[in-house]
Amino acid sequence: MRPLTRRNALILGGVGLAGVAVGGTGLLVTQKVSSPPTAASASGTELLEPLELHSTDGALAVTLNAAARQVTLAGRSVRALTYNDGVPGPTLRLRAGDALGVSLRNDLTDPSNLHVHGLHVSPEGNGDNMFVTVPGGDSFDYRYELPANHPPGVYWYHPHHHGLVADQVFGGLYGAIVVEDPIPIPASRDRLLVISDITVDSTGAPAAARATEKMSGREGALVLINGQLGPTMTARPGERERWRIVNACVSRYLRLRLDGHELALLGLDSGRFASARPVTEIVLAPGNRADLLVTVTGGDAALRALNYDRGTAGGMMGGGISPAGGDMSLATFRVAGETVAAAAAVPAQPTPRDLRTATVTARRELVFSMGMGGMGGAMMAPTINGRAFDAARIDETVQLGSVEDWLLTNTSTLDHPLHLHVWPMQIVEEGGQPVDTVIWQDVVNIPARSTTRVRIAFSDFSGRTVYHCHILDHEDAGMMGVVEAR
């Protein structure tokens, strides 16, 4: 049997078949449409957005009910995992300085919990505490206090119970959090695009992942925006839209393009550039978010996700497996109506902090590897510094108030996106080359057999939290460590 290689996947993608079962691996390559979906399919309806819940007078109190429910996904009825009966769950709109109270009610049969990805809040007590377990049938009251200088941007929430994260996110448990700008950014329209992927099995439930899929990180056959397959967005010529994009996929990298229109990136994650940066495409690793300005300068176009080569998990018995590849269309961008006048200028943004000249108090190296263990080498053992996650162990102790330099080394043949909770990372070196701009992210890619160097300011919040690969199958398999700031 021939192993599926990236090349095979691309060739299969190129013939434009709607669904191709690939020899032996059972991998289904679907949605290989590079032209906008037709109105005759389930797709083509206008993009819908999740319910929005806004804070008032500095507070937002919500109940999130995690439960399996029958919902419409990709135009069909699916028994998905939902927050408050939706996929995605409600969007929480906050301001710096707010207190967010979330009463999580777990109506799943499995344990779960909640993480507010990217928010700069305390990891202790009933804050963003990764060591809380909420058993099925139980509830837990979280309370998050956003500092008065919390950066604006797009964040998200999802479960974080070790061992079940990939299954629960793949099943539909995720939602967006927006921290508003102190000075509004003029745009004719704000859109939220929560991009996720899922495979639905013949019973109408999220498909279980095979061991081989978990090894490379599962990629769903359907890529959805706000739970819709191939929706349409309509705009008028000249308009400036603001798109907040969340990559909520378990393992899929999104290399996004919207050809013919002007794209300018305000920032990624909580990082914000001093001025919006013109781009032709953006790459979002799992967990990353983009805050993007789209100026309508062209005609109808497709929002496409282009093939991103994140390597292969090779050396397995039965051959290596390549993550599913190929270009696909995610949405139709329709331009219609009268031309509108250009939007007002984007207000200047604060100059981001630059740690390249900071005094470094400690240096560390984290080595990401996919060693083979057990069953004659047929099982993967994704580790950081040779160790699998242990909630009872503290892997790194950092001093509160310090600036640290972390060299992230990937010895494996797959990319790993490293995510650190609570404290964002400034990327200062990629593949040994210095980075000449200031880039802050909370998920940082470490390409296969390469290195990335970051700097982190542990300025505030003491306590224990985690860092991990945001390919959630890798996290669940142990590619996670514990950091304590004190």
- Which residues contribute to the site for ligand C2O (CB under 6 A)? 115, 117, 158, 160, 287, 419, 421, 466, 468, 470
Q: Please choose which of Cu ion, ligand C2O, none residue 92 contacts, taking the beta carbon within 5 to 8 angstroms, the exact cut-off set by kind.
A: none
Say how many CA atoms lie within 13 Å of 471 toward its Cβ: 31
DSSP 8-state assignment for residue 414:
B
Instruction: Tell me which of 134, 187, 380, 469 binds Cu ion, using CB under 5 A.
Output: 469
> In the bound complex, what is the minimum distance in angstroms from residue 466's beta carbon to ligand C2O?
6
Which lies closer to Cu ion via its Cβ, residue 295 or residue 452?
A: 452
> In the bound complex, what is the minimum distance in angstroms from residue 58's beta carbon to ligand C2O?
26
The total of other beta-carbon atoms located within 10 Å of residue 7's CB is 10
> In the bound complex, what is the minimum distance in angstroms from residue 117's beta carbon to ligand C2O?
4
* Integer-rounded Cα radius of gyration of the chain: 21
Exposure of 449 by Cβ count < 10 A (0-12 exposed, 13-18 middle, 19+ buried)?
middle
Which lies closer to ligand C2O via its Cβ, residue 158 or residue 214?
A: 158
> In the bound complex, what is the minimum distance in angstroms from residue 382's beta carbon to Cu ion?
6
Exposure of 143 by Cβ count < 10 A (0-12 exposed, 13-18 middle, 19+ buried)?
middle
* Three-state secondary-structure class, residue 212: helix
User: Which of the ranges 204-212, 328-336, 338-346, 413-421 carries the binding residues for Cu ion, by CB under 5 A?
Assistant: 413-421
Tell me if 474 contacts Cu ion by CB under 5 A.
yes
Which lies closer to Cu ion via its Cβ, residue 191 or residue 416?
A: 416
Which lies closer to ligand C2O via its Cβ, residue 47 or residue 479?
A: 479
Which lies closer to Cu ion via its Cβ, residue 453 or residue 474?
A: 474
- The first and second tokens of residue 328, run together, are 């696909």
Tell me if 366 contacts Cu ion by CB under 5 A.
no
Q: Please choose which of ligand C2O, Cu ion, none residue 468 contacts, taking the beta carbon within 5 to 8 angstroms, the exact cut-off set by kind.
A: ligand C2O
Mark 198-237 with x for binding to Cu ion (rule: CB under 5 A) and - for no binding.
Answer: ----------------------------------------
Which residue's entry shows tokens 């993480």? Answer: 115
Which lies closer to Cu ion via its Cβ, residue 268 or residue 471?
A: 471
Contact in structure between 443 and 248 (CB atoms under 8 Å) = no
- Closest-approach residue to ligand C2O (CB): 117
Q: Please choose which of ligand C2O, Cu ion, none residue 469 contacts, taking the beta carbon within 5 to 8 angstroms, the exact cut-off set by kind.
A: Cu ion
Size, binding site for Cu ion by CB under 5 A: 6
* Three-state secondary-structure class, residue 377: helix
- The first and second tokens of residue 403, run together, are 């600036």
User: Which of the ranges 52-60, 120-128, 293-301, 461-469 carries the binding residues for Cu ion, by CB under 5 A?
Assistant: 461-469
Tell me if 470 contacts Cu ion by CB under 5 A.
no
Which residue's entry shows tokens 């305390």? Answer: 122
User: Which of the ranges 223-231, 260-268, 326-334, 416-424 carries the binding residues for Cu ion, by CB under 5 A?
Assistant: 416-424
- The first and second tokens of residue 96, run together, are 């710096």
Q: Which of 401, 314, 418 minimizes the C-alpha distance to 365?
A: 418
Q: Which of 183, 153, 144, 168 minimizes the C-alpha distance to 58?
A: 144
Encoded amino acid at 352, one letter: P
Return all residues near 291 (Cβ < 8 A) that are at least 6 apart. Answer: 153, 154, 242, 243, 244, 245, 265, 266, 267, 268, 272
CA distance 20 to 12: 7
Q: Please choose which of Cu ion, ligand C2O, none residue 316 contacts, taking the beta carbon within 5 to 8 angstroms, the exact cut-off set by kind.
A: none
Q: Please choose which of Cu ion, ligand C2O, none residue 218 contacts, taking the beta carbon within 5 to 8 angstroms, the exact cut-off set by kind.
A: none
Cα–Cα distance list, 245 to 98, 194, 221, 432 (Å) = 22, 6, 20, 29
Q: Please choose which of ligand C2O, Cu ion, none residue 416 contacts, taking the beta carbon within 5 to 8 angstroms, the exact cut-off set by kind.
A: Cu ion
Quickly list H helices, 132-283.
165-171, 211-216
Q: Please choose which of ligand C2O, Cu ion, none residue 32 contacts, taking the beta carbon within 5 to 8 angstroms, the exact cut-off set by kind.
A: none
Which lies closer to Cu ion via its Cβ, residue 36 or residue 88?
A: 88
> In the bound complex, what is the minimum distance in angstroms from residue 273's beta carbon to Cu ion?
22
* Footprint of Cu ion on 80-139 (CB under 5 A): 117
- The first and second tokens of residue 194, run together, are 């929560």
Which lies closer to Cu ion via its Cβ, residue 206 or residue 287?
A: 287
Tell me if 416 contacts Cu ion by CB under 5 A.
yes
Q: Please choose which of ligand C2O, Cu ion, none residue 160 contacts, taking the beta carbon within 5 to 8 angstroms, the exact cut-off set by kind.
A: ligand C2O
Which lies closer to Cu ion via its Cβ, residue 43 or residue 445?
A: 445
CA distance 321 to 312: 6
Tell me if 471 contacts Cu ion by CB under 5 A.
yes
Q: Please choose which of ligand C2O, Cu ion, none residue 178 contacts, taking the beta carbon within 5 to 8 angstroms, the exact cut-off set by kind.
A: none
Tell me if 289 contacts Cu ion by CB under 5 A.
no
> In the bound complex, what is the minimum distance in angstroms from residue 252's beta carbon to ligand C2O?
14
Write 79-84 long-range contacts (CB < 8 A, 24+): 79/203, 79/204, 79/205, 79/206, 80/171, 80/172, 80/198, 80/206, 81/108, 81/168, 81/171, 81/172, 81/173, 81/206, 82/172, 82/173, 83/173, 83/174, 83/175, 84/51
Give the footprint of Cu ion on this chain (CB under 5 A): 117, 416, 421, 469, 471, 474
